Amino acid sequence: MILSELRAQTGDGGSSGLTDIVQTLCNCVGSLWKEKTGRDWESDEYTEFINTDSLSSLARVKNLPVADVDSVYFSPTRQFLDSEEIDEEDYAFDPTTGLFYFDLQFSKSRRGLRILYTGGYEEGEVPDWLTGILARQVAHWYTQGKDKSWAISSQNFQSGTTSYKALVNNILPEFVEAAEENSF
């Protein structure tokens, strides 16, 4: 998360006490996002085991975008021997959607397809829409915590009233909606 952007939204001028609180909230919101979407968003190496059936020659990995594929194996017995590695020429993948298109059909297997790949966003490549949603959730929690208003259901301002009654577990509706749309 870009701390300077979050500081701007939370009013944190950079004092160390506030920065620690904002960083803790960033970590909490990032963890919540990961839990709600069922995906990792940071760039890393991942191994996924995927069920196959005899009707499909497609597979999908969950940690997007896919930057690189190290290897793909199909092993109905889940031994993943060298002889069971699928040649790069026998598949293509869409980095944005995580879909793999195979030139062969698989037999039915439980977790018999193993894909080792690098996926997720590098530092500075996180889309603005995602940074914005996470920053708004951090700012919301920060504001409520700063004002010690965790338990209130609404707050009056000169320009109107803000109601927190629609919040489930104090999570903003746009956060919930985006997490549902991006869940795996």
Q: Is the dihedral of CA 9, 11, 16, 18 positive or negative?
A: negative
**Residue 22 clears pLDDT 60, i.e. is over it:** yes
Beta-ladder partners of 146: none
Higher-pLDDT residue of 155, 87: 87
Per-residue pLDDT tens over the stretch 114-149: 999 999 998 888 898 998 999 999 888 888 777 666
Per-residue pLDDT tens over the stretch 66-90: 999 999 999 999 999 999 999 999 9
**Residue 2 clears pLDDT 50, i.e. is over it:** no
**Res 11: pLDDT:** 56
Radius of gyration from C-alpha coordinates of the chain: 21
Domain boundaries along the sequence of the chain: 3-39+127-181, 44-119
Q: How confident is the model at residue 13 (pLDDT cuts 50, 70, 90)?
A: low
* Burial of 142 per CB tally in 10 Å (0-12, 13-18, 19+): buried
**Res 8: pLDDT:** 53
Beta-ladder partners of 160: 157
